[in-house]
Structure 1
């Protein structure tokens, strides 16, 4: 992996982590709101899971393989 590739992955990772935190805040706000929209909460949670999978994939890409 080149330095530029790693830099791009780190930038994407930071963006995805921020979006994941933002979704946490949005879900909390919706859950606290009167007359909350459960379908919207479920959609946000699904998006959050997709982000978590992508974050895990990028973290694995950035972690060097160590063969013991």
Structure 2
């Protein structure tokens, strides 16, 4: 899958990813508060959250104009 090139499309995708990241944060907090929670599931959620953070950072850097140009 090719990343979006259009700044408006990048901004839309960023919004979606930030919402998913926030939702994962809330889910992780809920699971962590439950003493009987599945640790493997929590680790998977945390890994997905980190992956989202990386993608968000890459997309945000694409929205910043190249200063060397």
TM-score by length of structure 1 reads 0.89
Structure 1 residue 29, shift from structure 2 partner: 0.1
Aligned residue pairs total: 64
Determine which structure has the larger helix proportion and give its number: 1
Structure 1's consecutive aligned runs of 4 or more residues displaced over 6 angstroms after TM superposition are none
* Equivalent residue runs for 1:1-68 within 5 Å: 5-67=6-68
- CA-to-partner distance for each residue in 1:7-27, whole Å, 9 max, x for gaps? 100000000000000000000
The RMSD of aligned alpha carbons is 1.2
